[in-house]
């Protein structure tokens, strides 16, 4: 058997960048409880009264996978996010300096989200990530 040289791990290797692991998109759910005030007018006295109302807002936090793309300037991430009933977003993030930030999506009454990320530079696609994220019942809004 021929002695092959042992090479160090190279995150920029061509064959590794073409492998798509859909489980690489890291996400978690979170909730924020806020207090809103509804202003009511008392018809008898014509006084304004504020009624306290507790509201829970559900979010999905998405950490963009950027371990393989650290310190690469002019990197573009095309983002598509689709919900089965309401949510829809298509857009791009461009990296000038540093790493991409995480995304925080306000959830509505979708039961599942489809997320597609395409990392590219000006000339070619570098890597794509696809993930279906089921939204737990606890984080789904109840339609009124």
The string of pLDDT tens digits covering residues 15-49 is: 555 555 544 788 999 999 999 988 888 888 888 88
Please compute the mean of the pLDDT values over residues 67-95 and round it to a whole number. Answer: 83
Could you tell me if 120 and 94 are in contact, meaning their C-beta atoms sit under 8 angstroms apart? no
Q: Which residue has the higher pLDDT, 46 or 61?
A: 61
Query: Three-state SS string across 9-73, please?
Result: CCCCCHHHHCCCCHHHCEEEEEEEEEEEEEEEECCCCCCEEEEEEEEEEEEEEEECCCHHHCCCC
Task: Look up the CATH number of domain 14-139.
Answer: 2.60.40
| Mean pLDDT over each residue of the chain, to the nearest integer | 81
Q: How high is the pLDDT of residue 33? A: 92
């Amino acid at each position: 058997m021929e002695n092959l040289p042992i090479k160090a791990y190279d995150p920029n290797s061509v064959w590794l960048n073409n492998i798509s692991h859909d489980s690489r998109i890291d996400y978690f759910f979170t909730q924020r409880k806020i207090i809103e005030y509804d202003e009511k007018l008392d018809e008898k006295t014509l006084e304004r009264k504020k009624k306290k109302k507790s509201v829970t807002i559900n979010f999905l936090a998405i950490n963009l996978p950027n371990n393989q793309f650290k310190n690469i300037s002019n990197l573009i991430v095309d983002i598509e996010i689709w919900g089965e009933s309401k949510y829809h977003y298509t857009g791009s993030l461009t990296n000038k300096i540093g790493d991409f930030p995480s995304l925080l999506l306000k959830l509505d009454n979708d039961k599942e989200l489809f997320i597609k990320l395409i990392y590219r530079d000006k000339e070619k696609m570098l890597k794509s990530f696809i993930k279906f994220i089921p939204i737990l019942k606890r984080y789904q809004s109840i339609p009124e």
